[in-house]
Structure formats: C-alpha cells, structure tokens
Chain A
C-alpha cells in the first residue's frame, strides 16, 4: 500500500495531527522527545498491530485520553484504501478498512507493510535470541499474515502449559500427565509448523543477506545464517517427552520455538562474539535490507520504509553506503541532526511538541 494521508488522534504526544506524504521521501526533523519516532510508530502500528519500540499498545494512547485513532489513506492496486485503527487504553482495539469494521484486528495485517530501521537494530546481532526470533517471525507475518495466528496460538499454548507446570509443583500425577500430554501435542504441532517456516525463511534470506551486506560494507564477505533447533530432527513431540522431567522441575517449557536462536556468521566466525563493531552495524543494516528485499519480491510491492533516526548512529562512510543501498520506494525518515549528503527529501516536516509544521 502506498500512503498518501495520515491522521492521528490522541496518539502518544499528538492530540491531533494530519500529514500528507510525498510519493518518495518524507523527512521528519525536530529535537529529541518531540514526537518524530511516534509518527513512525503510528504508521507501523497499522502494518503490524504493535509498537516497534516493544511497548504494550496501551502505552500508545495519549496520557489522559481513553483511546487513540490512527488513520491512513493510500492506494493499492489503483484503488483508494482507508485503513483505521482505534487503540484503546483498556486493550480492546478495533480496526476498519474503507469504513467497514473488521471482525478481528489481525485481519488488518497485509493491507499495509512496513520495514522499520531503528537505532537499536544493532541488538539483532549483539543481544539475546529473543529479538532475532522476533525478526524472523515479523518477516514471516509480512510474507504471510496467517502466520500471526500460529504465533499467537503458540504464545497461548505456552502460557497454558507453563501455568500447568507451575500448578504441578514438580509432581507428576496421572491427572497432570494426561493434561500435559494434550498441551504437548498442541505445542508440538505449532512448533513444527513455525520452525519449518523459519527454516524456509532463513534459506530465502541467506543470499539476499550476502548481497545486502556487500553493498553496505562495500566489499563482499561471506555471511552465514544458521537456524538449527536441536529438537527439529527428532520433532518437538519427542523432544518435549525427553525434557518433561526437566520442565516439571523448572516449572517452565524449556524446549520449543520460543527458545530457539538464529546465528549469524561473518567470514565464518560468530557475528555476536567475533565481528567488529563496524561489521556488526553493517550486518544489522543488511538484515533489515534483506527482509525488505524478500518481502518486496514475494508480495510484489515494496513495504513503506520507516527509518527512525538511523543515521545518527552510523559513521559517514556507512551512512553513505546505506543511502546508496536503500531501495527505491516510499520512505519516511526521522532525524534530530542533519541529513547525510545524497539524501534529498521531497518533503520536510518539523515536529515541535506533537505538532507538525511544513519546512
């Protein structure tokens, strides 16, 4: 979906805001804490139904308001599309497409797609496995919105199973055992589905990641992506049976797609421990670019690029390389400082305390 208009109401620090987007690059400038990132957050909410800053959706509602509304008008397949979301402070969110209320919020997924670049993307390489799983799973949902259901089912089954494990208090009665069997079967089915999808995704990403890295770093380096859950060969059902005693003792599910990691290697060495700071930064950018590339190719339309203050963290050489590597398409970028040379916005807006001004 190509965006034309965005309206915000009671979203973060915005009481009311309206903006028209350029076909290509819109730059949003302003000091820190004025609401630049919030604008991108609003757009990405329409695409993913959550905040890319990892906060609960209730936190998006402006202080003192009961609900925020995000509305975007754009074009898809030569048709005008109006998508709207109401984010409620009590967690009951609603969505509409062309004034028609959708039954479930997740039905909004797939109308708008975004690729978010944020300063903390470096954590994709440096931090724990959670953010890497999120990276894979977000990309899977962008490629196929029905994955959202499998992922939320997984979350629910895990909550149920872990609660049961806590209730068991380490004892395995017949009652607990038969109930646990049932959750294991559900977890195994979901786990196998999700892991298979992740394996397929990693295979598709690998070549794109190599070329993205080469263009960001300015030279080709062998990049590896390894996703090999220990349980994948035997199947999750078998693995869960094997670790059942351990799960009961620790009162938590120790095996499954929620515990998996994805490893990246740079020139054959683990990126997290062996790559230099610069290589890690290049890899983080390459990961975002590769996912963007894949989603564009598979879905036949480029996600809207959301660049949240990415240049501030990069040295001039790398930021020039990023500018050169950025795919064409609609882009929204925020910056607190000056734009790198070579970036020429079609439109620039200044944010001051939740209000937008044309520059």
Chain B
C-alpha cells in the first residue's frame, strides 16, 4: 500500500498515532503540512519542541505548567480546602471556564481501566492522599468523566476518602443548558430526574 517517499510515510505514521486521528486524517494533515509555506510548518514544529521542553507537570496538582507550580496552585486567593479531582489537565480548563470553582485541582492523569493497564497505582492517587492534611482539605469533588471508567475511578476514590472524614461529592449529570428536553437521550434525562432538586423561588 505505502508508495509514498519514506519521509512522507513517516510523517503520516507519526500523525496517525495521535488520539482521534485515523489513517485518512493523518494523510490529509501530512499533505497539508507539505503544501503550506515552509515557515508555517516549521512554526508548528517549533511549537511542539517548545511545549515539550518548557512545559512540565505541576509538582502539586499535576496540571501542566511552565514553572514548578501551576497558575492555580500559585494563586493565593484560591480556597485550599476544596479540591476538584479531574482525569486530565485539559479538564481543568473546562471547569475553570465555568467560573464556579475557586478551589484547587488534582489531576489523576487518567482513569482506572484494566484494559489499558491502568490501575490506581498508575494514577496520581498516592499524591492526592498526601495533599489532604497539609492543605487542610475538607471537601473533594470527584469530577471524573460520567462513563464506565470515570465512574469506577470516582467510586474507588470515594471509598478511599470517605473513611478519612472528608466530604466527598460527585458532580451531577444532567441536561445541557439551552437545549430542548425532547432531544435529550433517555439516560441523561433519567439521571437528571434522579438528581432533581427543590425549586428555589427566593
């Protein structure tokens, strides 16, 4: 099948290893990179090199950072007693966008999934436990994905943390804001019904 020049095929293969990029997309991106002005392509290469060289993981919460601690951990106005546990650093960005959370984060760097060879020991669980006392954490919000692996991880952490006398909460699943009820799938709607709350009329 492969009839491209070796460097082109190498590029396609490397791109194809990216998450969410199939062989077709890899091919398209590769030829796009070959077609655009050289300096544009090299800018991407530099961005990758720079990011890899300068960005590391926060020693406290494992968010991505340029220094030793990430922006959130450096921010002294943040509430240290509430900790939001997420699977990936990108989830922090999502939660930050809500503007609803003023505590700190902890990135697990994955979710429990034996199929992928990920058990609790491969995640930043031990590091989470060592943070609780020094930072006087009183509540841990489990913000893992609402899928099988995310739920398993939340359940695992819940069982670990609850005996320590810490308030453990799980983010609610429910309906997207601005959507129509009729377009919601039954599972989401069912969860939303289960998690209903009293109407605040004040």
Contacts and interface: CB of A to CB of B under 8 A. Distances in A.
Interface stretch (B58-66, B86-94, B147-155): B147-155
Interface in A162-203: 163-164, 167, 175, 178-179, 181-183, 185-186
A159 to B, nearest CB: 6
Contacts of B22: 90, 92
Interface residues of A, number: 23
B161 to A, nearest CB: 12
B156 interface: yes
B120 A156 contact: no
A157 interface: yes
Contacts, number: 52
Given A175-B120, A175-B121, A182 B115 contact: no
Nearest to A149: B187
Does more than half of chain A's interface fall in helix, strand or loop, or is it mixed?
helix
Interface string B163-176: 00000000000000
Given A146-B186, A185-B155, A178 B148 contact: no
A107 interface: yes
Interface residues of B, number: 22
A163 B156 contact: no
Interface in B1-52: 22-23
Contacts of A183: 152
Nearest to B158: A182
B114 A163 contact: yes
A182 B160 CA distance: 11
A186 B152 contact: yes
Given A167-B114, A178-B160, A179-B156, A160 B120 contact: no
B187 A178 contact: no
A182 B187 CA distance: 21
Contacts of B155: 182, 185-186
A107 B119 contact: no
Contacts of B182: none
A153 interface: yes
B180 interface: no
A186 B151 contact: yes
A107 B185 CA distance: 8
B159 interface: yes
**Residue among B23, B112, B148, B152 with most chain A CB within 10 A:** B148
Contacts of A167: 114, 117, 119
Contacts of A164: 114, 119
Given A167-B114, A185-B155, A156 B185 contact: no
Contacts of B160: 178
Given A107-B185, A146-B185, A149-B187, A182 B112 contact: yes
Contacts of B194: none
Interface string B182-202: 000111001000000000000
B114 A182 contact: no
Contacts of A149: 187
Interface of B: 22-23, 112-115, 117, 119-121, 148-149, 151-152, 155-156, 159-160, 185-187, 190
6 contacts: A92-B22, A146-B187, A157-B148, A167-B119, A181-B159, A182-B159
User: What 9 pairs across the A-B complex have the smallest Cβ distances?
Assistant: A163-B114, A146-B186, A164-B114, A182-B155, A182-B156, A182-B152, A156-B148, A163-B115, A160-B114
